[in-house]
Amino acid sequence: MGTLIQVGGLGSLTRLQTSDSRCNFRPKARVVISRPKLKRSRLVATSAVVAFPDLQADDFRHPLDRQNTTLLRAIPGLSEVGKFLLGSTAEQVMLLENIGTSVLVGENQLSDLHRLMVNAANILDLETPDLYVRQNPVPNAYTLAVSGRKPFVVIHTSLVELLTPAELQAVLAHELGHLKCDHGIWLTFANIVAMGAYSLPGLGAFLARNLEEQLMRWVRAAELTCDRAALLVAQDPEVVISVLMKLAGGCPSLSGQLNVDAFLKQARSYEEASQSPLGWYLRNAQTRQLSHPLPVLRALEIDQWSRSAEYKALLSQASRAAKANTSRAGALKARRG
């Protein structure tokens, strides 16, 4: 049965989501990528970044994502129930609704955005999905895939207006992280089971509430993993944190006045305020029903992971691979010359 996924968006989650396909493709990736210069770019300069050949999802998966994925896999019959509750008609409606109201990006259509996506996919060692731009005043991005078809990413025009090219590429990398980690499988099936369980007699509502709470914990953890994917592409924590800051309280007219260091200071103050018993309770009550962690907490997570030995080891390994590839290419050229 073909099924549809709408993997967690950048800042919001649509309830209808399913997948029975894996989207972790293995193309040949270029080892060194140069961030492209966009026409009329707001970036002052560009810098070389390294790619991650043979990158595995578990190389950057957040521990909470791994833990909560294990819990979802332990639910018996989850995928079978999900397939039963959503058929091919619903997937076709969602697919056509997204494609029919958006602009497909390509080499000859919004080519700057196309290059950002291609480079991000190469860095993460993924096949490049299709990219659509959709008119919407709410800054967001999300990923969809139908089994047997090429997955695609949708970004809203308001997000393009809000972010710099480097930040926009980090958003694309976040969405690619969902594909890299096969998040749609568990995200969607749990969503459908939770919605369908409400119709069951007796314990239906009770089961749905418990499953939905478990689902939301997993979704929030999955978002932390995808923020790491964004950092692997941006290779600058300030870029990723700036995206989160702008999603929390940014607009085009204010973007030039926003300060990443001040936002991190704000994030640390939130962390400190939630350490008390009352603060801990209020923090959990605030986030329990959210599909995404609070932007300040996501900023702290990225700041901490950018300083970690795990992240530095990934960069070091990629850099060594790039140097070895350059040396081999130089030696081959010399022999041919």
pLDDT digits (tens, 9 = 90+) for 150-195: 888 999 999 999 999 999 999 999 999 999 998 876 655 555 555 5
Structure tokens at 309: 């030995």
The residue among 189 and 212 whose pLDDT is bigger is 212
- Average pLDDT, rounded, for the chain: 77
CA-derived radius of gyration, the chain: 20
Structure tokens at 319: 């850099």
The Cα–Cα gap between 90 and 184 comes to 16
Is pLDDT above 60 for 196?
Answer: no
Any idea what DSSP says for residue 22?
Answer: -
The Cα–Cα gap between 131 and 208 comes to 34
CB contact at 8 A, 10 and 158: no
CB contact at 8 A, 95 and 4: yes
Any idea what DSSP says for residue 109?
Answer: B
Structure tokens at 97: 């609704």
Task: Say if strands 102-105 and 141-146 run parallel, antiparallel, or are unpaired.
Answer: unpaired
Cβ neighbours around 258 below 10 Å, total: 15
Q: Where are the domains of the chain?
A: 63-315
Any idea what DSSP says for residue 255?
Answer: G
Q: Residue 255, class by beta-carbon neighbours within 10 Å (0-12 exposed, 13-18 middle, 19+ buried)?
A: middle
Q: Which residues contact 75 (CB under 8 A, 6 or more apart)?
A: 190, 193, 211
User: For the chain, what percent of residues have pLDDT higher than 90?
Assistant: 44
Over the stretch 55-88, which tens digit does the pLDDT of each residue have? 999 999 999 999 988 887 777 766 565 555 555 5
The residue among 144 and 170 whose pLDDT is bigger is 170
CA–CA–CA angle 208, 211, 213 (5° rounding): 105
Q: Which of 51-55, 78-82, 114-118, 230-234 is the least confident region? A: 78-82
Is pLDDT above 60 for 22?
Answer: no
Residues marked active site are found at 175
Q: Residue 58, class by beta-carbon neighbours within 10 Å (0-12 exposed, 13-18 middle, 19+ buried)?
A: exposed
User: For the chain, what percent of residues have pLDDT higher than 70?
Assistant: 66
- DSSP alpha helix (H) spans, 86-182: 88-100, 111-123, 157-162, 165-180
